[in-house]
């Protein structure tokens, strides 16, 4: 009787399987993003004994349909129990028995592929999904998406793109959720043209989704379509699409690099006033640079004053003093410089600060204080040549040995004695004889500033133009170079540099961080330490080509030999400053 009862239970179970399998086949036209975790439903309650008996008897089932149906049933049950190894084995038995239709077999292959994905066996998942696609039935978008996910896990990015491109090749359409899945995969593998097309479709379906607007602009930038990215973000702003601070900064930068600094400055000023971006010293400095590029001097000066006061950056105070000098605002210039010199300066700022201080004092009729400031400027590198010219123009007395020994005054660096201007009214001390001649020669033949620049790895593009012809295009070329460096896997680690090497084309270069790869016209150059004479110029000063010739003459007059290598270092992003570095031996 016991044997008959068990046979009866098995027969009932097989009958239920035969009833349930066609229902599963009817569902095969629907894409499943995950396996149904409760395949038994109500049947699973109280049927543990029947499942166990079916597992024990599965090998004895010979009829193909019953074999496939029972094996598939046990596979789904194993998935529910989290036993992926058994599930895979049962799915294989079900497929091997060949007892079900192509529709049911394709559904089983999808389920098996998802089990492989759960089990992190991505290679078998990809093979199984390809088998499903090879069945001569209408494909479904979900099959291609799952195949692309498996290939992405395997690191085969070409296969990812091929799988996703199969969706359009088969004339299939995606819903919004599937479009987002395809976008994520396309973007991760660098297929930006396909990403652009999907984002355009998403934007048409969901125009109120801010991320679509900004992601599309980002994809344009990845393809170096700056104008398209600018138009995209401009339209988004007009349609009142929300912007984060970083997204506003991107829009501002795009206006700047496409030759519209006025609009960039206007947007930045409005964004800071409305709280869209922080009114930080860094943004005030950026606003100054943009207004200066737009030739709005008064607005630039106002922004620079705020940036200098907010940051305490000496360089910004010196820029402000330079603008005030050009506008002949002598008292304001003096006030700015005294504010910059309240604390000891970095040594690289001492010479220039004293030069500007001397100019403001001289223009205010305080000649003796101006003389002391100019003497200070000649004692350290930087602006010593210009300070010597001012002393000659003033017909000032030569410095005494005490004055020529140490920087004294309000603007001193790591060495020197700091004091107020009122204590610097030192009467002129005439010096006669050989000492006077020696001091005069010290001013007339100023020693060039010398330094050693650390070694660096440069990412560069070569240019056959002459220096004078290349300089006007530096800004546009720099943007392209920076974007190429990022695409090559690196980031900039310093200011834009023009390398002039003996017998070579000019090299427009960026110091690189990371591991960028040489690609296309872009190459890598490992530069050793570089000992050089140097001079920093402002945009308002003589052109770099003429300044190079003057610096060469000064270096040779001081007894140095030129190595033939030269660098022009463009400092501070949009800041109008260039440093000439001549290699010496």
Cβ-based neighbours of 310, under 8 Å, separated by 6 or more: 280, 281, 284
SS3 for 264-326 is: HHHHHHHHHHHCCCCCCHHHHHHHHHHHHHCCCHHHHHHHHHHHHHHHCCHHHHHHHHHHHHH
**Rounded CA separation 223/218 (Å):** 9
**Rounded CA separation 464/523 (Å):** 15
* DSSP code at position 495: -
Per-residue confidence (pLDDT) for residue 197, from 0 to 100: 92
E strand or H helix at 567? strand 562-570
**Rounded CA separation 151/133 (Å):** 15
41 torsion bin: left (phi>0), alpha (psi -120 to 50), beta (else):
left
Residue numbers of the chain with a pLDDT score lower than 70: 1-49, 422-447, 539-543, 572-576
Could you give the C-alpha distances from 157 to 128, 239, 521, in angstroms and in order? 18, 36, 25
- Please report, rounded to a whole number, the percentage of residues in the chain having pLDDT higher than 90: 22
* Contact assessment for residue 248 and residue 276, using Cβ atoms and an 8 Å cutoff: yes
Task: Encode pLDDT of 143-175 as tens digits.
Answer: 889 888 888 988 899 989 998 998 888 888 899
Per-residue confidence (pLDDT) for residue 267, from 0 to 100: 93
Is pTM beyond 0.85 here? no
Neighbouring C-alpha atoms within 13 Å toward the C-beta of 68? 17
224 torsion bin: left (phi>0), alpha (psi -120 to 50), beta (else):
left
Cβ-based neighbours of 299, under 8 Å, separated by 6 or more: 265, 291
Q: Which long-range contacts (CB under 8 A, 24 or more apart) does 163-170 make?
A: 164/191, 164/194, 165/194, 166/133, 166/139, 167/141, 170/139, 170/144
Burial label, 83 (beta-carbon count in 10 A; 0-12, 13-18, 19+):
middle
Cβ-based neighbours of 520, under 8 Å, separated by 6 or more: 484
In terms of Cα–Cα distance, which of 315, 407, 409, 430 is closest to 361? 409
**Rounded CA separation 12/329 (Å):** 102
Cβ-based neighbours of 360, under 8 Å, separated by 6 or more: 321, 325, 330, 331, 333, 334, 337
- Which sequence spans correspond to the domains of the chain? 2-220, 450-584
Strands 456-463 and 490-492: unpaired
Q: CATH fold of 2-220, please?
A: 1.25.40
**Rounded CA separation 317/19 (Å):** 86
Per-residue confidence (pLDDT) for residue 509, from 0 to 100: 92
Q: How many residues make up the chain in this entry?
A: 585
Per-residue confidence (pLDDT) for residue 447, from 0 to 100: 63
* Contact assessment for residue 385 and residue 554, using Cβ atoms and an 8 Å cutoff: yes
Query: Token pair 């002598």 is at which residue?
Result: 330
Which pair of tokens denotes residue 223? 């393809």
Per-residue confidence (pLDDT) for residue 319, from 0 to 100: 85
Question: How large is the C-alpha radius of gyration of the chain?
Answer: 38
Per-residue confidence (pLDDT) for residue 113, from 0 to 100: 85
**Rounded CA separation 565/143 (Å):** 60
* DSSP code at position 79: H
Q: CATH fold of 450-584, please?
A: Multidrug-efflux Transporter 1 Regulator Bmrr; Chain A (3.20.80)
* Contact assessment for residue 395 and residue 362, using Cβ atoms and an 8 Å cutoff: no
């Amino acid at each position: 009787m016991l044997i008959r009862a068990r046979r009866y239970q098995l027969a009932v179970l097989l009958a239920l399987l035969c009833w349930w399998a066609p229902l599963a086949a009817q569902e095969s036209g629907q894409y499943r993003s995950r396996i149904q975790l409760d395949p038994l439903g109500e049947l699973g309650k109280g049927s543990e004994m029947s499942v166990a008996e079916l597992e024990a008897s599965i090998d004895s089932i010979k009829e193909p349909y019953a074999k496939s149906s029972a094996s598939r049933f046990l596979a789904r049950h194993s998935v529910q129990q989290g036993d992926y190894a058994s599930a895979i084995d049962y799915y294989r038995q079900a497929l091997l028995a060949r007892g079900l239709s192509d529709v049911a077999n394709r559904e089983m292959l999808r389920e098996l592929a998802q089990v492989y994905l759960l089990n992190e066996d991505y290679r078998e998942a990809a093979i199984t999904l390809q088998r499903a696609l090879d069945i001569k039935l209408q494909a479904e978008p979900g099959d291609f998406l799952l195949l692309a996910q498996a290939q992405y896990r395997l690191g085969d990015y070409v296969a990812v793109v091929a799988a996703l491109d199969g969706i359009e090749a088969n004339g299939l359409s995606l819903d919004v959720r599937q479009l987002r899945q395809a976008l994520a995969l396309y973007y991760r593998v660098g297929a930006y043209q396909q990403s652009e097309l999907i984002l355009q479709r998403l934007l048409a379906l969901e125009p109120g989704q801010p991320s679509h607007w900004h992601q599309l602009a980002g994809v344009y930038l990845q393809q170096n379509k700056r104008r398209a990215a600018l138009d995209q973000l401009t339209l988004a702003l007009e349609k009142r699409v929300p912007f984060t601070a970083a997204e506003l900064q991107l829009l501002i930068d795009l206006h700047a690099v496409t030759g519209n600094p006025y609009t960039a400055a206007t947007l930045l000023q409005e964004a800071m006033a409305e709280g869209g971006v922080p009114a930080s010293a860094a943004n005030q400095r950026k606003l100054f640079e943009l207004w200066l590029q737009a030739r709005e001097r008064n607005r630039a000066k106002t922004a620079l004053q705020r940036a200098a006061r907010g940051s305490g950056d000496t360089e910004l105070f010196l820029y402000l003093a330079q603008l005030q000098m050009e506008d002949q605002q002598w008292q304001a210039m003096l006030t700015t410089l005294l504010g910059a010199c309240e604390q000891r300066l970095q040594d690289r700022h001492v010479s220039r600060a004293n030069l500007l201080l001397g100019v403001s004092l001289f223009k205010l009729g305080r000649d003796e204080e101006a003389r002391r400031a100019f003497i200070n400027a000649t004692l350290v590198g930087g602006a010593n040549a210009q300070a010597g010219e001012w002393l000659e123009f003033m017909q000032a007395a030569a410095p005494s040995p005490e004055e020529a020994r140490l920087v004294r005054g309000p603007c001193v660096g790591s060495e020197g004695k700091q004091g107020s201007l009122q204590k610097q009214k030192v009467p002129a001390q005439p010096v006669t004889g050989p000492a006077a001649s020696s001091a005069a020669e010290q001013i007339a033949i100023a020693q060039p500033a010398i330094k050693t620049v650390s070694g660096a790895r440069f990412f560069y593009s070569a240019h056959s133009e002459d220096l004078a012809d290349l300089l006007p295009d530096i800004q546009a070329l720099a943007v392209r170079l920076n974007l190429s460096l990022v695409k090559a896997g690196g980031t900039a680690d310093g200011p834009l540099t023009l390398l002039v090497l003996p017998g070579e084309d000019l090299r427009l270069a960026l110091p690189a961080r990371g591991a960028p790869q040489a690609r296309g016209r872009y190459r890598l150059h490992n530069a050793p330490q570089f000992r050089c004479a140097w001079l920093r110029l402002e945009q308002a000063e003589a052109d770099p080509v003429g300044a190079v010739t003057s610096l060469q003459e000064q270096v040779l007059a001081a007894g140095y030999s030129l190595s033939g290598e030269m660098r022009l270092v463009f400092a501070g992003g949009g800041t109008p400053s260039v440093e000439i570095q001549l290699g010496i031996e």
